[in-house]
């Protein structure tokens, strides 16, 4: 009886509050019931995701795509029965992979097929062109793209690094510096954003001595200078104050609890020659290969960079092109929706410039932008990418449900939050195995596709293996659609022989 009276009192108090507050018109007009609108709005994405939408609806990742990642990560049955539910010939811009009538045959000596992790070493040596002292060939053409500690939780960062170690995959630190959760065995690519977090001078520039020290004390294989990110090019990184815990603040060297906005520009350079000098300075000081990551907007930069690199023989060891459809921890909507070209439009514009100056077989190319699926990764490699970086698909593998709350710090699965009670739910050991399973399955299916097309290694597939459908029950050769000559998308004959022996 007393509980009932208390409940009634609570309802009356809420009604009085609703009627007298001025912030929400809907509550003033509809006291009590008005709250349902906000609750429904809050759980709308989850409701739509599970109840209302079709298998191919929902963005950024459809239900089919998420189900494939989840099943692969749990080593459940990820096959399909009864045939496709795609409207194959009616959907424009679908990828058609043209298989060979006589698929690739493993050598009869049994030297192939023993690798349980389905490693696919990169066809090029990163840093080979510039002969960096610590040039290396990554074991996996797939790697986990930049997502910083701060944007992701410590449990998520640990799960990713451990999953990378288990599966022989590289892990990009993201622009937030190296945390203890990056030190669980996985090889690192250390990303330097405009904030140079973890290797920053008091004035906000790059502290080279600190960088050398970081590189010497962690498993760093390469360094990446981030010019921009597809989801927010022209804007620096944003880490909402809710996520700037004492630990995140200490690792980055910033005040706790205050929203951290890194500058949109680099203090260390402001033109192509300055960028190339910066890259070379870092490579010289550390001995490591140095790459750049960028979204694609104005074309002038790429023309100038290719010309400069061809004229001087200096420059980045790899170029990572991030599509405008890429993910982010937090960004203004207009930047995510309208700034920078999507990957399939962006990459050819960059690659063509390097074909023009004859450097496309020297520089390593990396692509990103929803490429964590076998057909998408294979097409990217057919276009000229040597490696593919994946971010949100890795998040899905460790339990992300695409709630799209990364920017609030309230991620319900403990992946993109710093709230201890939410982070507690994510078991890094279990999720590391899930990530490894997903990465291994992805590589296996990429290899299966390559074999179906007659090749031992996906780096040997040219754009002639693909067609893109149009809206008239027809299709066009992918080399025509992307404006890239087929010959530029395959290695020369001598390299091709060596590449085909890389996979075991």
Ligand X SMILES: Cc1cc2nc3c(=O)[nH]c(=O)nc-3n(C[C@H](O)[C@H](O)[C@H](O)COP(=O)(O)O)c2cc1C
Q: Which of 65, 72, 140, 145 binds ligand X (CB under 6 A)?
A: 145
Q: What are phi and psi of 428, to 5 degrees?
A: -60, -30
Residue 372 beta carbon to ligand X: minimum distance, rounded to whole angstroms: 5
Q: Which of 121, 127, 168, 174 binds ligand X (CB under 6 A)?
A: 174
If one asks whether residue 327 binds ligand X (CB under 6 A), the answer comes out as yes
Q: Which of 328, 402, 417, 469 binds ligand X (CB under 6 A)?
A: 328
Rounded to whole angstroms, the Cα distance separating 275 from 269 reads 6
Residue 56 beta carbon to ligand X: minimum distance, rounded to whole angstroms: 17
Q: Which of 369, 409, 462, 491 binds ligand X (CB under 6 A)?
A: 369
The residue range among 95-103, 258-266, 357-365, 386-394 that interacts with ligand X, by the rule CB under 6 A, is: 386-394
Residue closest to 179 by CA, chosen among 200, 203, 202, 153: 153
- Does the CA dihedral 230-236-239-245 come out positive or negative? positive
List the interface residues with ligand X, window 449-488 (CB under 6 A).
none
Rounded to whole angstroms, the Cα distance separating 221 from 214 reads 12
- Pairing state of beta strands 238-239 and 260-261? antiparallel
DSSP 264-311: SS-SS-SSHHHHHHHHHHHHHHH-S-EEEEE----SHHHHHHHHHHHH
8 Å CB contact between 384 and 360: yes
Rounded to whole angstroms, the Cα distance separating 396 from 436 reads 12
Q: Which of 65, 72, 140, 148 binds ligand X (CB under 6 A)?
A: 148
If one asks whether residue 372 binds ligand X (CB under 6 A), the answer comes out as yes
Q: Which of 166, 305, 416, 435 binds ligand X (CB under 6 A)?
A: 416
Name which of 396 and 503 has its Cβ closer to ligand X: 396
If one asks whether residue 350 binds ligand X (CB under 6 A), the answer comes out as no
Name which of 62 and 495 has its Cβ closer to ligand X: 62
Q: Which of 154, 214, 352, 370 binds ligand X (CB under 6 A)?
A: 370
Name which of 149 and 466 has its Cβ closer to ligand X: 149
Rounded to whole angstroms, the Cα distance separating 224 from 467 reads 33
The residue range among 9-17, 240-248, 319-327, 465-473 that interacts with ligand X, by the rule CB under 6 A, is: 319-327
Interface size with ligand X, residues (CB under 6 A): 28
If one asks whether residue 316 binds ligand X (CB under 6 A), the answer comes out as no
Residue 483 beta carbon to ligand X: minimum distance, rounded to whole angstroms: 23
Radius of gyration of the chain (CA): 24
> 124: how many CB neighbours lie within 10 A of its CB?
24
DSSP 199-256: SB-TTSSB-HHHHHHHHHHTTEEEEEEE---TTSTTS--EE-GGG--HHHHHHHT--T
Binding site for ligand X (CB under 6 A): 145-148, 151, 174-175, 191, 226, 229-230, 237, 293, 322, 326-329, 368-370, 372, 390-393, 406, 416
């Amino acid at each position: 009886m007393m509980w009932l009276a208390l409940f009634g009192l609570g309802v009356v108090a809420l009604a009085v509050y609703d009627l007298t507050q001025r912030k929400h018109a809907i509550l003033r007009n509809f006291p009590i019931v008005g709250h349902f609108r906000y609750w429904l709005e809050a759980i709308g994405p989850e409701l739509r995701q599970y109840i209302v939408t079709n298998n191919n609806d929902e963005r950024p990742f459809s239900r089919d795509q998420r189900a494939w990642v989840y099943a692969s990560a749990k080593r459940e049955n990820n096959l399909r029965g009864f045939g496709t539910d795609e409207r194959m010939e009616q959907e424009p811009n679908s990828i058609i992979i043209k298989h060979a009538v006589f698929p690739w045959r493993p050598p009869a000596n049994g030297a192939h097929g023993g690798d349980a992790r389905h490693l696919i070493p990169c066809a090029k040596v990163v840093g080979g062109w510039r002969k960096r002292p610590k040039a290396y060939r990554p074991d996996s053409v797939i790697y986990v793209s930049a997502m910083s500690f701060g944007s992701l939780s410590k449990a998520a960062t640990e799960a990713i690094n451990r999953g990378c170690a288990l599966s022989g995959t590289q892990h990009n630190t993201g622009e937030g510096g190296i945390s203890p959760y990056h030190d669980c065995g996985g090889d690192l690519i250390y990303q330097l954003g405009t904030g140079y977090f973890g290797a920053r001078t008091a004035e906000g520039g790059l502290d080279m001595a600190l960088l050398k020290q970081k590189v010497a004390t962690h498993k760093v294989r390469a360094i990446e200078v981030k010019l921009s990110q597809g989801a927010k090019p022209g804007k620096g990184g944003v880490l909402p104050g809710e996520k700037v815990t004492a630990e995140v603040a200490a690792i980055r060297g910033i005040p706790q609890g205050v929203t951290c906005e890194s500058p949109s520009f680099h203090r260390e350079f402001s033109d192509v020659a300055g960028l190339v000098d910066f890259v070379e300075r870092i490579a010289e000081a550390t001995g490591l290969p140095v790459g750049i990551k960028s979204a694609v907007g104005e074309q002038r930069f790429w023309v100038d960079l290719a010309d400069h690199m061809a004229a001087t023989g200096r420059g980045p060891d790899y170029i990572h092109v991030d599509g405008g459809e890429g993910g982010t921890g937090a960004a203004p909507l207009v930047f995510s929706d309208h700034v920078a070209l999507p990957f399939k439009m962006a990459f050819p514009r960059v690659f063509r410039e390097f074909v023009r100056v004859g450097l496309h077989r020297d520089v390593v190319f990396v692509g990103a932008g929803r490429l964590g699926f076998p057909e998408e990764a294979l097409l990217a490699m057919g276009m000229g990418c040597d490696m593919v970086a994946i971010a949100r698909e890795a998040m899905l593998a460790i339990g992300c449900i695409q709630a799209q709350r990364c920017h609030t710090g309230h991620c319900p699965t403990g992946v993109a939050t710093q709230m201890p009670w939410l982070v507690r739910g994510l078991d890094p050991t279990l999720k590391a195995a899930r990530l490894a399973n997903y990465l291994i399955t992805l590589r296996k299916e990429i290899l299966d596709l390559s074999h179906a097309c007659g090749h031992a290694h996906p780096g040997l597939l040219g754009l002639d293996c693909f067609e893109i459908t149009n809206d008239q029950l027809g299709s066009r050769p992918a080399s025509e659609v992307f404006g890239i000559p087929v010959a530029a998308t395959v290695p020369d004959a001598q390299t091709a022989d060596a590449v085909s022996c890389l996979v075991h």
